[in-house]
Structure 1
Amino acid sequence: MRAIWNGAIGFGLVNIPVKLYSASESSTLDLDMLDKRDLGNIRYKRVNENTDKEVPWENIVKGYKIEDSYIVLDDDDFEAVSPEKSKILSIKQFVNEDEVDVALFETPYFLEPQKHGDTAYKLLLEALLKTKMAGVGSFILREREILCMIRPYQKEILMVNRMRYPEEMRSYADLKIPKGKAPKAEELHMAEALIKSLAEAFDPSKYKDTYNEDLLKIIKQKAKGKNIKSKKTKEPEEKTIDLMAMLKASLESGKRKAG
């Protein structure tokens, strides 16, 4: 793996030199966009809107528009913004993970200790495991300040979870949230029973993205000249349903599978 950031974790007065690596990857098939007339590959070009000519990467700069003119920024300008955060992932506080809404979590990264950082790295890892706490802090990555959580992963490595800032979460105030009468006691009891019947310890290995496998099967069948017929699925009914009947049927189905 290739490191995407080099720096240090600021832990009190201790600095732990680390490297940051992406901990996830896309599992989608690499599909190309083609012109259906001749299957020519579609390419995207960086075009100057004034000249309609393609612009090479070395001539592209970043700028911010104020009134009718652009202020161009270079590498020195970006480095001048919070330079300490460009190289230090500073832990501001320690929290129980359960206190943080999972909706705020984004991308995961692995942390690897750099030379002379092994001892302090292991110390932080063991201390977090012992206290069952996680660190919350921020640093600069790719010209953006990242809010993040540092926590143990699989009890043997430190992981950084990139987090959304609260202002990045949309409001749901304009959505139609049910505010009608409470569910019937019998329905609620049945729903609780169904939830409990399906409850078990979480095992992520049980879950697999099968969409790409199925899509690849279709691709291979088409390559052999076979016609593909899609299976029609029933649209969810919008009419009022008998909740009790559906809950009872769900419970019975679960019992049959368990037996």
Structure 2
Amino acid sequence: METRTKSIWSGSIAFGLINIPIKIFSAVQESKLEMDMLDKNDFSNIKFKRVNENTGKEVSYSDIVKGYKLDEKYVIVEDSDFDAVEPEKTKTIEIMNFVDEKEIDTIYYEQPYYLEPDKGAAKAYALLRDAMQASGKVGVGAIILRNRESLVILKPYKNTIVLNRIRFQEEIRDTADLKLPPASEKNTKEMDMAIKLVEQLTEEFDITNYKDNYTAKLLKIIEDKAKGKKQVAPKLKVVHKQDADLMAMLKASLEKKKSKSS
């Protein structure tokens, strides 16, 4: 019998004067292989311990507290202190306003979660979900999750409401320090061909077409290695082309796509 996933937060959505009790569940799971760290001499597992800096002795998790260094002294911060900051936000996701999702740049997106209605909240939950679906809008709100305030958007996804944690403006680094080329000249042959190549490679997005091939191939290598099969890494040749070759490369790319289509 499959065990139900445990919720990571419970509270409510404040939608105008409507209060919708909900539970939050993680919407994603890792597809990478879990690796253990081993001692190369005898392949024993490496264990990490929480150790007192002064005594060198291990400290049990129940004896660990959180502290903030202020004027060279630590102030111990307890759970009640976190809750006292904005108690209404520790149990409520208040929808501050609704926006068009296309106005939110993808650089802000961080982590998705599923919202499930709690007891007695199914009708109000469905109403909010379906109103957002019909209007094409998403809700913007804030949540205190794991002692951290996060900006979030709420949006309909299939038959659920997804809470997507997004970053604040101050968390996005400025690009001023990057060494970037100036804007490309318009109406040049290179630009025209680059646009044609983009159009030629354009398809309707279907997430099922994309697979985690790296993890599957890595698992195959591990299984072959366990059977004693010798692995030969393929040679990867990286070629750095000069700007003068751009036109030739664009032409070759277009022709390659044409030949695959025919």
Same fold (TM over 0.5): yes
- Note if contact 2:185-2:191 (Cα within 8 Å) is conserved in structure 1: no
Structure 1-normalised TM-score? 0.97
Alignment match, 2:41? 37
- Structure 1 residue corresponding to 2:175, chosen from 145, 156, 172: 172
Cα shift readout 1:225-249 (whole Å, capped 9, x = no counterpart): 1211100100231544411111111
1:231 matches 2:234:
yes
- Distance in 1, matches of 2:77 and 2:200, equals 59
Alignment match, 2:219? 216
- Structure 1 residue corresponding to 2:29, chosen from 25, 30, 44: 25
SS of equivalent residue, structure 1 residue 86: coil
Cα shift readout 1:189-242 (whole Å, capped 9, x = no counterpart): 111111111111100000011111111111111111121110010023154441
- Structure 1 residue corresponding to 2:163, chosen from 160, 165, 180: 160
Cα shift readout 1:26-72 (whole Å, capped 9, x = no counterpart): 11101101111111111111011010111000100001001221000
- Distance in 2, matches of 1:33 and 1:198, equals 42
Alignment match, 1:68? 72
SS of equivalent residue, structure 2 residue 240: coil
Instruction: Kindly report which structure 2 residues correspond to 1:1-259, keeping only aligned pairs within 5 A, or say none.
Output: 1-154=5-158, 156-179=159-182, 182=185, 185-237=188-240, 239-259=242-262
Amino acid across the alignment from 2:130: E
Q: Percent identity?
A: 49
CA RMSD of aligned residues (A): 1.2
SS of equivalent residue, structure 1 residue 242: helix
What's the offset of the Cα at 1:179?
A: 2.0
SS of equivalent residue, structure 1 residue 65: strand
Q: Which runs of 5+ in 2 are unaligned?
A: none
What's the offset of the Cα at 1:134?
A: 0.2
Q: List structure 1 segments (4+ residues) > 6 angstroms apart after TM superposition.
A: none
Distance 1:2 1:241, change over 3 A: farther
What's the offset of the Cα at 1:21?
A: 0.4
Amino acid across the alignment from 1:40: S
SS of equivalent residue, structure 1 residue 235: coil
Cα shift readout 1:123-168 (whole Å, capped 9, x = no counterpart): 00110011100000001111011110000112x1100000011111
Q: Matched residue pairs, number? A: 258
- Note if contact 2:112-2:162 (Cα within 8 Å) is conserved in structure 1: yes
SS of equivalent residue, structure 1 residue 31: coil
Cα shift readout 1:90-137 (whole Å, capped 9, x = no counterpart): 010100000001100011000000111011101001100111000000
